[in-house]
Structure 1
Amino acid sequence: MLFAKATPVDEDCVDPTWRRFKGCLGALDGTYIEVTVPESEKARYRTRKGKICTNVLGVCNREMGFVYVLSGWEGSASDSRVLRDAITRRNSLKIPHGNYYLVDAGYTNGPGFLAPYRGTRYHVREWAQGARAPRNYQEYFNRVHSSARNIIERCFGLLKKRWSILRSPSFYPLKTQFQIIIACCLLQNFIRKSMEMDPEEEGSILDEFTPDGDEEQDGLIDVVENTNEWTHWRDNIANEMYEEWRASRTE
């Protein structure tokens, strides 16, 4: 298969974007892609902005390779609902206990999914040059988290830039439209793996495919839920990040 592999950030990582996220596998998010559906199905596929779309879950590693893609969910479905399906279906998204993906505030912060603090500055543009420095550990954590999680947004942006068929609805059968989305993700992986430099990057019912088989596996996360232990762990690493940053500013 052409799906990429996700390897966790290890203790020796020196990449400034990722080194604080030990055990992290990458990032995930949902994106809307317009589709053509029968008139009777339009209500289910209509997004809050009125477009007829499928809500696609994309999961990528730190090298911008798609690890898992689930297409076919209605545009009216929430990102968290699509994720719950992804980790419980037969060909599920595999997340070993102790590892996790970065997610945005629309998802639950719980084992396997590290979300930012809600109600606190987060998006990269909010940390643009000239913005005030973080005032507490939540703001600093969100800044670091946003910088790393942005990789999935770059993946989606590159995908839609490269494949024009994903930028407007097509008129293939609905199942074929879902399969085309998967195919474009796999082709993007192949291009990035085969070419030293990606020219596009330099210039600028449900279908799912996974690299794993259908066999039962133990030690994998199969529920999305918040726990006190996970919340405390996030607080601890956020405080460590913030104190390290403050110390570096006084040197």
Structure 2
Amino acid sequence: MLLSLAMVLAIKRRSARLRRSISYAYHALSRYNIRSININEMAFHSDRQCVDNCRMDRRSLSKLCYLLTTRGKLKGNRNISINELVIYFLHIIAHNVKNRVLKRQTARSGETISRHFHLVLNSILRLHNILLKKPEPIPENYTDDRWKWFKVQGCLGALDGTYINVNVPANDKPRYRTRKGEIATNVLGVCTPNMQFTYVLPGWEGSAADGRVLRNAISRRNDLKIPQGN
């Protein structure tokens, strides 16, 4: 009698473990399918979808992934590929997507998304020598009318400030409020005629004037250096 009861209990426990294993495998497979479908729809279905979601076509995306792997030291793992890391990163910065939104789309936790975002960001920063081009003087025979006023000897490009909306604590909002009433950070950028950035200074509050940001860019430790043109 006792032996029969023990056998029944053992069979029930084994059946319960088997059901849990099957359930876990089913949910894991479901998450994998969700991620695969999501990645294909975001980037690999067509160039148009890739541009809409990542702001670049599939060819440019492949080049960026290659650079991040070979020069940026970005590594994937068995749970996420390089392509998936980069696509999620580009989607976040292109559309200001929040973690709580993306975690539903990707079946991942917010902590995982945040950690992966910073992995790609660190790899991007390692490519600054490649992505930030050295300026070259604008030639006198340059045909673009937008730069006709810059055809002076030694002109290397143009600089301007722009506002980028940010989320800050309530007690910091007055400092980040722009003259248009938006909560933003004032970013100084310097670019060449073909829109290649040669200098970027982020971090200033939206209430700061452009002149103040420029003075800080020139006087800070890693200051804005103006190369001599030809």
Query: Which TM class, normalised by the smaller chain length?
Result: 0.3 to 0.5
Rg larger for:
2
Higher relative contact order (CA 8 A, sep 6+): 1
Whose helix fraction is larger, Structure 1's or Structure 2's? 2
TM-score of the two chains, using structure 2 as the length reference: 0.39
TM-score of the two chains, using structure 1 as the length reference: 0.36
